[in-house]
Amino acid sequence: MQLKIYHDVPESESAYKTFQKEKVLTRLLAIDEQARTKGLASLDAAKEPLIGLGMEQAADGSVTKNSYGHFHLSWLARQNPEWPAKIQAEITLVRERIQKTHGAPLKFLIWAGMGGSAEDKTLYEKAGLLKKGPKLYVLDSTDPAKLKNILAEMTEKSGLSLKEVLKRTLIVAQALGMTSYEPVVNLQILTALFEKHKLDAKSNFLYMTLPGSILDQFAGPRGYTRVPLQMDEGNSTSGRHSSPLTRGSLYPLALAKADLKAWMEGTFLSGEDVETAFRLASFLDVQGKAGRDKVTLLLSKPIAGAGIWTKQNFEESLGKREDLGLKMVIDEKPKVSNYRSPKDKSQDRVILAVTVKGSADGVAEKAALLRRSGYPVATVTLDKNANLSGYMQFMHYVVFGLGYLRQMNFITQPSVELYKAITSRIHADESQADWKTMLASPKQMKWRGCVTLYYDKAMALEATGKTAPQVYASLLKSAIQKHRMQYGELSFFGDSRYSKQGQALRKVMDKAGETIFRGKLKQPVDVYEGPAMNHSFHEMIIGHGKCLSTVLLSEKAEKLIGVDYPADYHRAQFLATPMALAERGRDVVAITLKDLEPASLNALTDFFAQVVVSLKGFNPLKCYHQ
């Protein structure tokens, strides 16, 4: 790893020297080994601060979980050269079981998981690492539309009946929280499909979770195979830390006949590489504390799909503190016209460019342009033959380094648990009282009969205007004028990956992100699916704040023909999102569409276009300078 830093003001060398002076890496190795060999009871958080940063503790201070597994799995892999062959043998057995049970080969892979339990699989697919394996489908939503569209694509492209498709499908559920319910919802439906077609499902289902979790309680009694997540049989990794070295990360690669030996060796970072990660962490920390806390990530083409995984890792780990945040900005074409001038005191960008040596994709040139313009820039250059696993392990050390400098536990996710609890309560209420309350809200405005804006959860903002776009624009202005907004969020609760209608909606959202937030307001914006990224977005928005969230939902829910798969839980997740944000004093609005037909999408397109018109003459820079 080669690191170059430009415009390092204030200087970050002093912060970096902290790691050497305090022998952080040596202590990390020692405390993790103590936890694994002598037990958690031997640990004393009062004597070693690293315990409070990377482990879970009970109210009395006792350590309940060592969460440094994403580091020690790499250290243990060096000592266990048989691990790659063991994984391949396990995958061979999975294939043989399906072949023996159904007389058909494995052709499809459905991975049911949320956030960090799913985004690494999406990354591998985008990087082209899964081409030789079964076709991957990431089921990271409880929206019936997503599973419906997945099954439709599987049958259409294969030319097989649904029954024959199911025979050839491996379904893996991954949930590393005790209370994660989303994979259970999807497993219930997939189980019902196998039962409807009178198929033995035991050979087609695997699951990875903590013993006694909700997922374990569902899958275990049905005879599904529980696979230990870690090669050391431990449970010391969270979802976002399960890659690149747990079975949850290795199984898709093994199914695609990847070179697991080279993959694991890619994580064997040298001491110099780790020091480079600490050096980068120091730069980002100092820049962030100086107000430049929007890390604009530029990635070379070979690793371009790593943006969402990196975002999840950083934000869910480091987004807890209101006074100190670090926003990871991804999927953004760098435009100086959308940024504030480097000479402007309100300039809040720091550029992180990760390039692959010899890659002619323009990333290095874009980073150089921004550097010459005066923006603080860090460039990390990977070797041409470097494994993606090395990038992932390197970023784990960067996050750890930031957690160390900020004295922040980068393992826990308290804000996510709030959203989960509210979702459970809403889902348990058969009267659908919360949905009815939203529909009856006096603070709503319709647009062209297809779009409805609900703004009762933006209580700290001033809403004015005669039309829905004018009201939305007034909320944006108010949020900026009151210094409550430094970036925006547009999340569609539905399928924008496999659905053509959802893909069309995503284009509308992307355009709105560019024209409204980046163009008019000079702010970054997150555009993605909910609740797939709720874990990342919530930890950052609830914890750090300074965002106006906009969540979208189609009022017309999809149905999966042949089995009972209502959208109740998915709708509960949508409702719980603004409720959780509002409970913590965060600003959020909801937009519902009548459906996803062209008329509704056209109405939403016009809604956002009129917002741009309503923002005409508004100068956000004056507000940033106040």
In degrees, rounded to 5, the angle at the alpha carbon of residue 81 between the alpha carbons of residues 79 and 82 is 125
Phi and psi (nearest 5°) for 568? Answer: -60, -50
Tally of structural domains, the chain: 3
Q: Decide: 578 and 436 in contact? Cβ < 8 Å.
A: no
Q: Is the pLDDT of residue 534 over 70?
A: no
Is residue 578 one of the residues assigned to a domain? Answer: yes
Tell me the C-alpha to C-alpha distance, in Å, between residue 411 and each of 190, 250, 319, 407. Answer: 32, 22, 11, 12
Q: Tokens standing for 174?
A: 């991954």
Q: Tokens standing for 292?
A: 């430049």
Q: Do 449 and 334 share a structural domain?
A: no
User: Which one has a higher pLDDT value, 101 or 541?
Assistant: 101
Is residue 579 one of the residues assigned to a domain? Answer: yes
Q: At 399, which CATH number? A: 3.40.50.10490
Band of pLDDT at residue 507, cut at 50, 70 and 90: very high
Determine the pLDDT at residue 115. Answer: 83
What is the distance between the alpha carbons of residues 330 and 374, in angstroms, rounded to a whole number? 20
What is the distance between the alpha carbons of residues 283 and 15, in angstroms, rounded to a whole number? 8
Q: DSSP for 115-142, please give it.
A: GGGTHHHHHHHHTTTTTTSSEEEEE---
Q: Do 571 and 439 share a structural domain?
A: yes
Q: Do 206 and 111 share a structural domain?
A: yes
Q: Do 279 and 257 share a structural domain?
A: no
Determine the pLDDT at residue 552. Answer: 97
What is the distance between the alpha carbons of residues 246 and 25, in angstroms, rounded to a whole number? 22
Distance of CA 150 to the CA centre of its chain: 21
Q: Is 56 exposed, middle or buried (0-12, 13-18, 19+ CB in 10 A)?
A: middle
Half-sphere exposure (CA, 13 Å, Cβ side) for 201?
A: 25
Q: Is the pLDDT of residue 114 over 90?
A: no
Determine the pLDDT at residue 87. Answer: 98
Is residue 364 one of the residues assigned to a domain? Answer: yes
Residue range of the domain that includes 149: 81-266
Q: Do 375 and 363 share a structural domain?
A: yes
Band of pLDDT at residue 332, cut at 50, 70 and 90: very high
Is residue 138 one of the residues assigned to a domain? Answer: yes
* Closest alpha carbon to 7 in 339, 199, 283, 353: 283
> What one-character DSSP code corresponds to residue 342?
T
Band of pLDDT at residue 535, cut at 50, 70 and 90: low
Q: Decide: 319 and 544 in contact? Cβ < 8 Å.
A: yes
> pTM here?
0.96
Tell me the residue type at 33.
E
User: Which one has a higher pLDDT value, 516 or 359?
Assistant: 516
Is residue 62 one of the residues assigned to a domain? Answer: no
Q: Do 423 and 281 share a structural domain?
A: no
Determine the pLDDT at residue 327. Answer: 93
Q: Tokens standing for 569?
A: 């839980």
Is residue 350 one of the residues assigned to a domain? Answer: yes
User: Which one has a higher pLDDT value, 561 or 293?
Assistant: 293
- For 491, residues 6+ apart whose C-beta sits below 8 A from its C-beta are 526, 527, 528, 529, 530, 533, 534, 537, 549, 550, 551, 552, 577
Of 371, 405, 439, which marks where a domain is finished?
Answer: 405
Is residue 547 one of the residues assigned to a domain? Answer: yes
Q: Is the pLDDT of residue 376 over 80?
A: yes
Q: What is the pairing mode between strands 487-493 and 525-530?
A: parallel
User: Which one has a higher pLDDT value, 416 or 156?
Assistant: 156
Q: Do 508 and 610 share a structural domain?
A: yes
**DSSP E strand boundaries for 358-496:** 377-382, 444-447, 451-454, 487-493
Q: Do 584 and 560 share a structural domain?
A: yes
Band of pLDDT at residue 75, cut at 50, 70 and 90: very high
Q: What is the mean pLDDT of residues 3-17?
A: 97
Q: Do 388 and 448 share a structural domain?
A: no
Average pLDDT over all residues of the chain: 94
Determine the pLDDT at residue 82. Answer: 97
Q: Do 276 and 191 share a structural domain?
A: no
pLDDT > 90: percent of the chain: 85
Q: Do 276 and 261 share a structural domain?
A: no
In degrees, rounded to 5, the angle at the alpha carbon of residue 38 between the alpha carbons of residues 52 and 227 is 85
Helix (H) or strand (E) holding 609: helix 598-614
Half-sphere exposure (CA, 13 Å, Cβ side) for 243?
A: 27
Of 364, 387, 405, which marks where a domain is finished?
Answer: 405
- For 399, residues 6+ apart whose C-beta sits below 8 A from its C-beta are 281, 313, 314, 317, 318, 410
Q: Do 310 and 256 share a structural domain?
A: no
Of 214, 235, 266, which marks where a domain is finished?
Answer: 266
Band of pLDDT at residue 596, cut at 50, 70 and 90: very high
Q: Decide: 605 and 508 in contact? Cβ < 8 Å.
A: yes
In degrees, rounded to 5, the angle at the alpha carbon of residue 66 between the alpha carbons of residues 60 and 70 is 150
Band of pLDDT at residue 537, cut at 50, 70 and 90: low
What is the distance between the alpha carbons of residues 585 and 580, in angstroms, rounded to a whole number? 9
What is the distance between the alpha carbons of residues 1 and 390, in angstroms, rounded to a whole number? 9
Is residue 50 one of the residues assigned to a domain? Answer: no
